[in-house]
């Protein structure tokens, strides 16, 4: 399984914001973006999960109009707002088909290239149990790729026979979020969306099939997402300032990485006032 880090991406350097990103049509509220502001980007999946040809994927850093979109985000709209953001900043691929791992990679790319690659986190040392604050360089986060022999869809052998499963996509997550507004079984709905094959043509059919499977089979279906993890490995090693021992920390993905406010905004950008 191939690994790298975000810094090794061909577009790892921070985007030069000295030239205009584009303009907003104030009458229609549409963002008009200069074509040369989109830069090539590769994905951790290497396109192995996509049914459509994936070539020449490009992305741009965020602008003020994108911040307006993120400012409207709330816990009930996170997935759909992320999808809307990807529709604005990506070309060369349908954002709906992007996997969860690819999306996380793109979110970190946006954070690094739109703001800064450095993030401060608080942690408790696993060795001396003392609190400390440390700074993480997101560009050095390891990125895990899908195996070269990965084939989609994935065939699972269940107790009831073989079944085909896809990796979760941005569309699955957005639709599950919308479904959860009126239903309490969104967890079942989410994983049932990954099922393929005869009798699994519609969301309702998929859910019915999933609900009737033995739990040993549903566990296998859920485990597929872990087995084929790809994207940024948010765990990294730092040195505790107190005991000087190496400590493993997990960098949390927070909205502040894409829309810094409060202390994060002041710490990273307040010195220019």
pLDDT at residue 56 in the model: 85
pLDDT at residue 7 in the model: 42
Domain ranges of the chain: 3-145+230-260, 154-227
**158 strand-pairing partners:** 161
- For 140-176, the pLDDT digits (tens) are 999 999 999 999 999 999 999 999 999 999 999 999 9
pLDDT at residue 1 in the model: 62
How far, in Å, CA of 150 to CA of 22, rounded? 39
pLDDT at residue 31 in the model: 45
pLDDT at residue 116 in the model: 87
Question: Which residues of the chain, if any, have pLDDT below 70?
Answer: 1-36, 53, 262-273
Half-sphere exposure at residue 263, Cβ-oriented, CA atoms within 13 angstroms? 3
pLDDT at residue 128 in the model: 96
């Amino acid at each position: 399984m191939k690994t790298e880090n975000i810094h090794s991406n061909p577009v790892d350097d921070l985007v030069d914001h000295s030239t205009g990103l584009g303009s907003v049509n104030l009458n229609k509220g549409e963002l008009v973006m200069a074509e040369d502001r989109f830069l090539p980007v590769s994905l951790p999946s290497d396109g192995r999960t996509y049914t459509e040809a994936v070539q020449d994927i490009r992305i741009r850093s965020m602008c003020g109009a994108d911040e307006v979109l993120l400012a409207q985000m709330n816990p009930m709209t996170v997935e759909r707002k992320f999808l809307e953001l990807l529709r604005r900043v990506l070309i060369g691929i349908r954002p709906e088909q992007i996997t969860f791992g690819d999306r996380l990679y793109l979110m970190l790319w946006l954070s690094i290239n739109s703001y800064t690659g450095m993030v401060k986190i608080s942690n408790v040392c696993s060795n001396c149990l003392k609190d400390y604050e440390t700074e993480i360089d997101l560009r050095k986060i390891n990125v895990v790729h899908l195996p070269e022999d990965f084939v989609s869809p994935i065939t699972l052998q269940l107790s009831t026979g073989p079944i085909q499963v896809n990796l979760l996509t941005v569309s699955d997550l957005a639709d599950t979020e919308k479904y959860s507004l009126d239903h309490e079984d969104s967890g079942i709905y989410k994983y049932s969306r990954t099922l393929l094959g005869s009798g699994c043509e519609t969301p309702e059919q998929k859910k019915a099939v999933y609900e009737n499977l033995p739990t040993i089979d549903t566990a296998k279906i859920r485990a597929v997402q872990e087995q084929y993890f790809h994207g940024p490995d948010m765990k990294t090693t730092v040195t505790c300032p107190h005991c000087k021992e190496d400590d493993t920390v997990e960098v949390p993905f927070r909205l502040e990485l894409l829309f810094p406010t409060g202390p994060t905004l002041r710490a990273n950008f307040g010195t220019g006032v």
